[in-house]
Amino acid sequence: MTNVTVTTLKAHKAAGEKFAVITAYDATFAGLVEDAGIEVILVGDSLGMVLQGHDSTLPTTIEEMIYHTRCVSRGCKKPLVIGDLPFASYNTREETMTNAAALMRAGANMVKLEGGEWLTQSITAMVERGIPVCAHLGLTPQSVNSLGGFKVQGRESAQATSILDDAKRVEAAGASMLVLECIPSALAASITAELSIPVVGIGAGADTDAQVLVLHDMLGLSSRLPKFVRNFMTDNPDVQSALKAYNTAVKSGEFPTIEHSFS
């Protein structure tokens, strides 16, 4: 695998070739993910739950995200590394720029943040200053308290339309990638077809351009596995084989199946 860039990922979408994304939070796992041939590492604020033991991602701070982004970027060379802006670290355009720049200095190649229309000016500002952006729609875990829990989004038609509209807005604002979390497969498929930027799904069915899973979930280490997760350790003898199996299953379209998806 050569160094993965925004251009590489766009080319994968244009060619109809699926790519794999996974979270990692330290140098050791970043190296294993790279060796497995996975294109993108997300240093997700899910670390608040799987590393720090919180019930949600809300307590995670920008300083912690910077620290883990540094660890990951030291552990790999080729994957594109996405740093995640945590809860309440991008309230204003100025705050967004400062914190996004700190993640880029820590080694990120792209910055992710959760939300749609209200973020468009911040997205454009980041892109104009050389920071590629990944947006995140559907179940946005930082809004778990407003959403009333970790629930599938976009089942009612008004909500589905609003997610589709937001997807078009973040693309128009300059986002280079979009994560769709826990939405019906048919909605994810139509958003993927409408956008020219790569769309990465988690609990969003089989028709997105790429898939992402939380590392600890796909290694079967989490106490409760969500419906959209496959435990790749079940059929593999070690972590390296499980990561390779995940990469292969995503690229071949063998994962996710209907049993990991929502209608």
- Which of 158/224 has CB closer to ligand KIV? 224
Q: Return the beta strands (E) in the chain as ranges.
A: 19-23, 40-43, 80-84, 110-114, 133-138, 177-181, 199-202, 210-213
171 included as an active-site residue: no
Catalytic residue, candidates 114, 117, 181, 194: 181
CB of 142 to ligand KIV, least distance (A): 9
Q: How many helices (H) and strands (E) does the chain have?
A: 11, 8
Query: Rounded CA gap, 66 and 52, in Å?
Result: 15
Give residue 251's Cα distance to chain centre.
16
CB of 159 to ligand KIV, least distance (A): 19
- Which of 14/221 has CB closer to ligand KIV? 221
- Which of 125/137 has CB closer to ligand KIV? 137
- Which of 181/207 has CB closer to ligand KIV? 181
- Which of 45/171 has CB closer to ligand KIV? 45
Which residues are bridge partners to 80 per DSSP? 40
Residues engaged in binding ligand KIV (CB under 6 A): 23, 42, 44-46, 84, 136, 179, 181, 202, 212, 214
Neighbours of 92 (CB within 10 A): 10
CB of 66 to ligand KIV, least distance (A): 15
Coil, strand or helix at 58: coil
Max Cα–Cα distance, the chain, nearest Å: 48
User: ∠ CA(79), CA(80), CA(83), 5° rounding?
Assistant: 125
CB of 43 to ligand KIV, least distance (A): 8
CB of 228 to ligand KIV, least distance (A): 10
Query: Rounded CA gap, 82 and 35, in Å?
Result: 18
Tell me which residue has tokens 């949600």. Answer: 56
CB of 181 to ligand KIV, least distance (A): 6
- Which of 157/191 has CB closer to ligand KIV? 191
Q: What is the DSSP string of 63-126?
A: HHHHHHHHHHHHH-SSSEEEEEP-TTS-SSHHHHHHHHHHHHHTT-SEEEEE-SGGGHHHHHHH
Label residue 3 exposed, middle or buried (CB < 10 Å: 0-12, 13-18, 19+): exposed
Catalytic residues: 181
